[in-house]
Amino acid sequence: MKVSKLWSLEKLMIQKFFAPKLKEKTNFFRLLALAQRSWLWLRDALISIKKSGKDKGMIMIIEDLIDQLTQWYTLSKAMINHAYFFQNEEIALIESAETMGNLPEILDEIALELENTQRINAKISKAMTYPVLLIGFAFIAVVILLMFVIPTIVWMFPNQESLPSLTKFMMWASGFLKNTRYIIAIVIIGTIILYNFLYKQVLTFKMLVDKIMITIPAVSGVVKTYYMYRFAKLLSQLYNAWVSPIVSLELMGNTFTNFFYRKKMIEIKENLNAGFTFSESMEWSSLFDPILVQIVHVGEDTGNISEVLKKMADFYRDMLQTKIDILMSLIEPILMVFIAIIVGIIVGSIFLPMAELVNVIK
């Protein structure tokens, strides 16, 4: 049993309050790879990385790794104590590298993969910034119009019964928003919390959401391309590290969050145990492109499946970025039209009675 000065409470503090960001993790693996190439001992390398670190959570993790290495644990064994931060496949790759003696190369590969993940996440964040800001400003504008502008203008008319139906409806909406604004806020927050709970705890709800994500046009293209990229990249890395296909599939199954891709990893593992090949297990599945199945088949026949998977991973990485751009280009005009309709209805409810008043004055 491992002995560590990092207690469960401290781990919880790291997870909840001092969780290192992906950038810190990437820098950790990159610096550790450079130190290994410079023939520094692992413990000395970690001490140097700790001195240059600024993130409190990352420093706490490194301190525990140093402590465990001092007790003659290997790096992979020490990292198991922080499985909430280090992925299972990363630990498996390092464990294999420690046996094979190619730790610097594996650390470089992990750092490179994390950098790719950073770029993809940054691209998604950048693409989503404009729609989110647009929705936020539109929401604020609608609330201001309903709660302050419409009541002020409508009360200028002595005979409110003669107001247009659209204006009456918006007056009702304004009153409803004023009277129930706190309830609406609680319902919105409660819905978000309930969704997260159901997705994590209720399997049928998770299956429904995951099925929608791989079925909706445009969105499914992004999701499937992402998982095919992860499948090809992880499998090629694990093959290079001489991790057995069965263990590799188990690790990937634990990594994938989508229920159907996780289930498919289990099915492929069972098929391999039954004597089938990768390509035979992947055939006729809508989760994989036929071209990926064919490439895997060629790789199995030629004995260089790791190389062909690596090339396919690069292909799907580029395709993923393109599909993200396409999805955002579809979402933006739909949002613009929706917001324009909502704002147009509100503005119309204001100007219709004003137009009638002008006609009466004339």
Chain segment 215-272, per-residue pLDDT in tens: 988 888 888 998 998 888 888 888 877 778 888 888 888 888 899 999 999 998 888 8
**Among 86, 113, 147, where does a domain finish?**
86
Same domain assignment for residues 145 and 228: yes
- The pairs formed by 57-60 with CB atoms below 8 angstroms and a separation of 24 or more are 57/14, 57/17, 57/18, 57/19, 57/20, 57/24, 58/20, 58/24, 58/25, 58/28, 60/6, 60/10, 60/14, 60/18
d(CA 159, CA 166): 15
**Among 86, 116, 138, where does a domain finish?**
86
pLDDT tier for residue 16 given thresholds of 50, 70 and 90: low
The length of the chain in residues reads: 362
Nearest one of 117, 90, 120 to 103, comparing CA atoms: 90
Q: Residue holding tokens 């806020």?
A: 185
pTM of the model: 0.76
User: Which one has a higher pLDDT value, 198 or 123?
Assistant: 198
Same domain assignment for residues 61 and 175: no
Evaluate if residue 6 carries a pLDDT over 50.
Answer: no
Task: Say which CATH number the domain at 134 has.
Answer: 1.20.81.30
Could you tell me the CA-to-CA distances from 116 to 26, 27, 84, 315 in Å, in that order? 10, 13, 21, 13
**Among 38, 54, 86, where does a domain finish?**
86
pLDDT of residue 151: 74
Cα torsion angle, 282, 284, 286, 289, sign? positive
- CA torsion, ordered 334, 336, 341, 344, to nearest 10 deg: -170
User: Which one has a higher pLDDT value, 241 or 287?
Assistant: 287
Evaluate if residue 116 carries a pLDDT over 90.
Answer: no
Chain segment 310-345, per-residue pLDDT in tens: 888 889 988 988 888 888 788 778 878 887 887 787
As for how many domains the chain has, the answer is 2
